[in-house]
Structure 1
């Protein structure tokens, strides 16, 4: 009787209706992406109220991104060992409590610590959502649609962060940027308890502590070093030291996983699955594409065309809506077309859209020089992101779904961090060669170079996608 119940539970790892499961994972993804951007608009108010220094203020953003990217592999493995529901509920609890602490903070140190804890909670939640999709939606069409909805919810979160941050800060207080997570988190915890079964892999494994320490520390050091390029050059010891330390720790992590760990945190056998290996590499490239689109077009609107932060967010709204619509449509096509046609079409949109954006200058109009090309790039993102996520997580044993989810999202996050640093350096160097290096015309020249580099990354995605398996993914 017990074995029959266990088998049934593994076959159907959700206790509630499928729509509730999908709503849950989409809402969690929305919260994770929202908190990557919603704080940006509130930073001036936070600095005034809590007397932050300029350097300290950056860590209100960086503290979250650092632990979010650094702990995702660990969060993914924990989801496999302890069950996605446990990790999702634990992550929501950490996220909500730290949001409360951030909203009530009266000192800079408290707010930064709360943001660090928020990032850890997000790193627990994000891989668990992908594990839930992979184990709950096993039919190809249903899984593809779930990936499309999950991807679109991230787009909604990114858009809402830019717009809602300004509205909440202006209409209420910067504290509500954090406090609003508390009631939402409570509702999602109840939903998780109602809709997800308390499944486990059935394997008696312990957490690979050596791998967890070296992998997490390596990723955190690498991301930290890359973040320092915003204030220091690539040749600075403050950049080189953490980056080299991070890379060395990741080498040690690889050796531990391959030769020492009896139960590795990231089993290297998973990279024998071509979709996992190639898909992860493509997600690194895609992370840089996403940064070029959302971050640098926002800077172009503000620093070149003179938009406010809120106006820039509204200016990106059409592209965000286009992304969400195309992501849902691409997910429906994926089981029929397979990954390659969608990725090639998406890459074509990247090349054309970013090539068009690279023609913009200080006297450009919004409709012809920004709206048109960003809509085209958004079509590419909508075709590419859910397709890559499906490709990178397909054909994986159910017991490794959380690990692969963590790996996929870590690849995208690291790609974004490294891409931001490289592209920002290139933009700054190009602007500095122009007369009046901080003038709108000079800044436009720097951003145009970024858009040309992003078009080149689009070509690289097209080339690498040819290495993916030919069979269809769902």
Structure 2
């Protein structure tokens, strides 16, 4: 069944954009709001800063590891059904986190259940947006709204979480998440799936296990750097071996004429691969900066949750400004230009955080750098998603959406893991500076990847997904 075309394609979906955008907002919010609760959670649950970092990283890692299987399940069970299941699991996880008596239950509720719920929620958001908004301009606007809400959720997470934590408690922040999920469930009743599910579609269980285990080992290996270098190397190496087995497995299934978890052709499109690299770098930069600055302000400067959150308002304003202008910018400038400019502005923001914030006692010394990072990320989030999603046809949106969101969430989990590990290890005695220099290097890598994108991407895909 083809998606609607003509005026119906651009007008009917407008009513469903709100729950889809809110779903992206709350999932991004969950990944960053705990950054300002580090002291409160560690004191209340009798744990450490590293313990809270582990909970945050596991949440982001579960999302990354399960996003590809989550995208694949949408083909078998339908986008709407997976969306609703994700809301239910996420809501249960939020309520369990709010009542957590210890770190273990918090990890179960927030890191595991909310992570699984997000992996079921997010692929339908991007698949439905791609299928329902068939015109280039309307799709750019829709992705602009969704990516703006995602970026705002990540950037405003510290502010909203800080306000709730200071006014009530950190547990109330999870009740806030449950309330938003309830609102999405009510608004989401109008969401219709433009393509019927295919219950006969096979699901590659072994591929799902291998991909999830491999990604988990690689990220957890990074976190072991401050404990045992040999164990870190061994864990990362084992993860690489598992991922190599995953690649061999999906190739073997294709040769046998069986459908793999993700087709190898998803990795052969040069434009999509470059877009995926930029997505990973963007979210690594955003989440890494969020964790480093939030931890520095609370642990070193002694600011409370709301003071820390207010400082992050600058990043939120920057993201909001450029993300909401995504459609207009896409009409005037090539995707490559927007992505490259975004990385340059973000790197400049990191440089300012590195040079000014560490020399000034004023908390507002962080504002210019955070503002630039927000502006830069808002410039490039939507173009990167559009580049990747528009590289494949309608029947491949489940796979590429899962892969795209997996890359973004892997970047988020790596950002927290890498930045947190550098802060905890403090090998040179300048942990904050080391972390920020590393993040600037990530931004440079993203800029270089964007340089190899074609000058015009949308023009090549103007007729819709899959047009080459």
Instruction: Using structure 1 for the length normalisation, give the TM-score.
Output: 0.85
**1:94-105 residue pairs with structure 2 within 5 A?**
94-105=89-100
1:182 aligns with 2:178: yes
Whole-angstrom distance in 1 between the partners of 2:187 and 2:313 = 29
Task: Work out whether residues 38 and 165 of structure 1, in 8 Å CA contact, stay in contact via their aligned partners in 2.
Answer: yes
State which of 238, 241, 247 in structure 2 corresponds to 1:245. Answer: 238
State which of 211, 226, 231 in structure 1 corresponds to 2:207. Answer: 211
State which of 106, 111, 114 in structure 1 corresponds to 2:109. Answer: 114
Pick closer, same or farther for the CA change 1:454–1:110 going to 2, 3 Å: closer
Task: Work out whether residues 14 and 196 of structure 1, in 8 Å CA contact, stay in contact via their aligned partners in 2.
Answer: no
1:454 aligns with 2:466: no
- Cα offsets for 1:166-192 (capped at 9, x unmatched): 332333343322223333323322322
Task: Work out whether residues 165 and 306 of structure 2, in 8 Å CA contact, stay in contact via their aligned partners in 1.
Answer: no
| Helix, strand or coil at the partner of 2:203 | coil
| Helix, strand or coil at the partner of 1:395 | coil
State which of 382, 385, 389 in structure 1 corresponds to 2:385. Answer: 389
Q: Which residue of 1 aligns with 2:71?
A: 76
Pick closer, same or farther for the CA change 1:301–1:211 going to 2, 3 Å: same
Whole-angstrom distance in 2 between the partners of 1:88 and 1:13 = 23
Whole-angstrom distance in 2 between the partners of 1:98 and 1:368 = 35
Following TM superposition, by how much is the alpha carbon of 1:214 offset from its aligned partner in structure 2, in angstroms? Answer: 0.9
| Helix, strand or coil at the partner of 1:38 | helix
1:260 aligns with 2:253: yes
| Helix, strand or coil at the partner of 1:91 | helix
Following TM superposition, by how much is the alpha carbon of 1:96 offset from its aligned partner in structure 2, in angstroms? Answer: 0.9
Whole-angstrom distance in 2 between the partners of 1:86 and 1:11 = 26
* Bigger mean CA offset, 15-24 vs 403-412: 15-24
**1:51-450 residue pairs with structure 2 within 5 A?**
58-106=53-101, 108-115=103-110, 116-197=112-193, 199-200=195-196, 204-229=200-225, 231-233=226-228, 235-237=229-231, 239-261=232-254, 262-303=258-299, 305-360=301-356, 362-364=358-360, 366=362, 369-424=365-420, 432-433=427-428, 437=429, 443=430, 446-450=431-435
- Cα offsets for 1:13-55 (capped at 9, x unmatched): 9999422221111100111011112234445554555555777
Following TM superposition, by how much is the alpha carbon of 1:426 offset from its aligned partner in structure 2, in angstroms? Answer: 5.1
Task: Work out whether residues 134 and 143 of structure 1, in 8 Å CA contact, stay in contact via their aligned partners in 2.
Answer: yes
Task: Work out whether residues 147 and 386 of structure 1, in 8 Å CA contact, stay in contact via their aligned partners in 2.
Answer: yes
Task: Work out whether residues 222 and 421 of structure 2, in 8 Å CA contact, stay in contact via their aligned partners in 1.
Answer: no
Q: Which residue of 2 aligns with 1:26?
A: 21
Whole-angstrom distance in 1 between the partners of 2:8 and 2:315 = 36
Pick closer, same or farther for the CA change 1:447–1:110 going to 2, 3 Å: closer
Pick closer, same or farther for the CA change 1:245–1:200 going to 2, 3 Å: farther
Whole-angstrom distance in 1 between the partners of 2:171 and 2:350 = 37
Whole-angstrom distance in 2 between the partners of 1:78 and 1:14 = 25
| Helix, strand or coil at the partner of 2:170 | coil
Task: Work out whether residues 16 and 194 of structure 1, in 8 Å CA contact, stay in contact via their aligned partners in 2.
Answer: no
State which of 449, 455, 463 in structure 2 corresponds to 1:464. Answer: 449
Task: Work out whether residues 148 and 328 of structure 1, in 8 Å CA contact, stay in contact via their aligned partners in 2.
Answer: yes
* Bigger mean CA offset, 23-32 vs 367-376: 367-376
Pick closer, same or farther for the CA change 1:58–1:370 going to 2, 3 Å: closer
| Helix, strand or coil at the partner of 1:358 | helix
- Cα offsets for 1:98-156 (capped at 9, x unmatched): 22233334455433322211111111112221111111111111111111111111222
Whole-angstrom distance in 1 between the partners of 2:358 and 2:45 = 36
Task: Work out whether residues 389 and 408 of structure 1, in 8 Å CA contact, stay in contact via their aligned partners in 2.
Answer: yes
| Helix, strand or coil at the partner of 2:95 | helix
